[in-house]
Amino acid sequence: MANPSLLILAGDGIGPEVMAEVKKIIGWMGARRGILFDVSEDLVGGCAYDAHGTPLTDATMAKAQAVDAVLLGAVGGPKYDKLDFSVKPERGLLRLRKEMDLFSNLRPAQCFDALADFSSLKKDVVSGLDIVIVRELTSGVYFGEPRGIFKEGNERVGINTQRYTESEIARVAKSAFELARKRNNKVCSMEKANVMESGILWREVVQEVHDRDYPDVELSHMYADAGAMQLCRWPKQFDVIVTDNLFGDLLSDMAAMLTGSLGMLPSASLGAPMASGRPKALYEPVHGSAPDIAGQGKANPIACILSFAMALRYSFDLGDEATRVERGGGKGAGRRLAHRRSDGSRRRHPGHHRPDGRRGSGGTGRQPLSAGSRGPDRLVTQM
């Protein structure tokens, strides 16, 4: 039987350097555990624009549709800020999400013990935190029509449209309920039903799906602004949060920072099952391309490594291998980051850590899990 196939799209900024660490793990798994992947690589984002004048070529899109899973690093950078909207690096990522129909974006936020001190919240509020935001990823205001900048009289008007069909809401709700059943059986749905019709429909459909198929799961509803407040106040009240594309974008960045660093969070974007039975899938860290630290060997690859672990779990049914990789990531966070408190003072000097779980000789060369100099919230920054 052919090996499962992976397409690596490392992208821009710190994408290639964090992905380099994942490639080492893939190599290690083949050599040491006999788990082999057919890996191909291609361009997405600014680097694809530089090479081809488009952030995602049709050929790359076709490859992404054909493989078992896509691993993506990051897209974007200041170099591309002035480009026409239609060819901005982000459009490449959005095209992948839309054309692969990756409607369910799982963004887990777990607080590693070693990082609890780095959260901007009190340690007891975040330690042991383990929640997942399920973000709808293929619809809503990101894709709704009409959209554009139009002339109205003698001024311009910018228009975007929040649009959700019942079936779009129902399928992401179902994925959230399924996930909750494997966890603590609780879903909180967030929208703005107090001001948006799409929010009213969202709330109704989530409730209907629940009552029909998932009555055993505890369901609550919150307005997204109150949800943001509750995420800061007492995030451990949540298990699974399901929300739309835009609110999910905002709330997942916030949930990420609760854990001490945006640089720690992986994500899985899943669609319908393919002929193989595997879901269409793209895995990517939540952090952006962090152009300010790109190329300096400072970027923390944990989020990208944990995204690969999610691929092992959700695409390849290799849960034990995923746990092995995740444990390595957690230890890495501890060893590399625990030496600085949130006030910047030193606690202890950690050994150098390699993603294969062994300790390096220290001090020389580029360290894969380098903490940088100003605490973990400086490791990667959002684009």
Question: In the beta sheet, which residues pair with residue 321?
Answer: none
Judged by CB under 6 A, the stretch of 88-96, 144-152, 305-313, 333-341 that binds ligand IPM is 88-96
Q: Residue 249 Cβ, how far from ligand IPM at the closest point, in Å?
A: 5
Which residue is associated with the tokens 């992947």?
Answer: 37
CB 36 within 8 A of CB 68: no
> Which of 12, 244, 249, 377 does the annotation list as catalytic?
249
Q: Give 94 or 205: the residue with its C-beta nearer to ligand IPM.
A: 94
Concerning whether 253 is annotated as a catalytic residue, the answer is: yes
Task: Please list every residue from 243 through 302 that binds ligand IPM, using CB under 6 A.
Answer: 249
Q: Comparing C-alpha atoms, which of 22, 64, 12 is closest to residue 356?
A: 22
Q: Give 249 or 284: the residue with its C-beta nearer to Mg ion.
A: 249
Residues in touch with Mg ion (CB under 5 A):
249
Which residue has the closest beta carbon to ligand IPM? 90
Task: Please list every residue from 130 through 169 that binds ligand IPM, using CB under 6 A.
Answer: none
Q: Give 95 or 171: the residue with its C-beta nearer to ligand IPM.
A: 95
Q: Residue 354 Cβ, how far from Mg ion at the closest point, in Å?
A: 29
Concerning whether 80 is annotated as a catalytic residue, the answer is: no
How far is 332 from 317, CA to CA, in rounded Å?
24
Binding of ligand IPM by 90 (CB under 6 A):
yes
Concerning whether 84 is annotated as a catalytic residue, the answer is: no
Residue 290, phi-psi category: left (phi > 0), alpha (psi -120 to 50), beta (remainder): left
**Residue-wise DSSP of 56-111:** S-HHHHHHHHHSSEEEEEE---GGGTTS-GGGSHHHHHHHHHHHTT--EEEEEEE-
Concerning whether 216 is annotated as a catalytic residue, the answer is: no
Residue 90 binding: pick among ligand IPM, Mg ion, none (C-beta 5-8 Å cut-off by kind): ligand IPM
Cβ neighbour number for residue 201 with a 10 Å cutoff: 17
**One-letter identity of residue 284:** E
- CB-based burial label for 58 (10 Å; 0-12, 13-18, 19+): exposed
Q: Residue 14 Cβ, how far from ligand IPM at the closest point, in Å?
A: 13
Q: Residue 383 Cβ, how far from ligand IPM at the closest point, in Å?
A: 6
CB 48 within 8 A of CB 54: yes
Binding footprint of ligand IPM, residue count (CB under 6 A)? 4
- CB-based burial label for 287 (10 Å; 0-12, 13-18, 19+): buried
Q: Give 97 or 210: the residue with its C-beta nearer to ligand IPM.
A: 97
What is the number of helices (H) and of strands (E) in the chain? 11, 12
Q: Give 92 or 301: the residue with its C-beta nearer to ligand IPM.
A: 92
Q: Give 29 or 262: the residue with its C-beta nearer to Mg ion.
A: 262
How far is 283 from 307, CA to CA, in rounded Å?
5
Judged by CB under 6 A, the stretch of 90-98, 200-208, 210-218, 299-307 that binds ligand IPM is 90-98
How far is 167 from 161, CA to CA, in rounded Å?
18
> Which of 49, 80, 142, 214 does the annotation list as catalytic?
142
Query: What residue ranges bind ligand IPM (CB under 6 A)?
Result: 90, 93-94, 249
Active site residues: 142, 192, 225, 249, 253
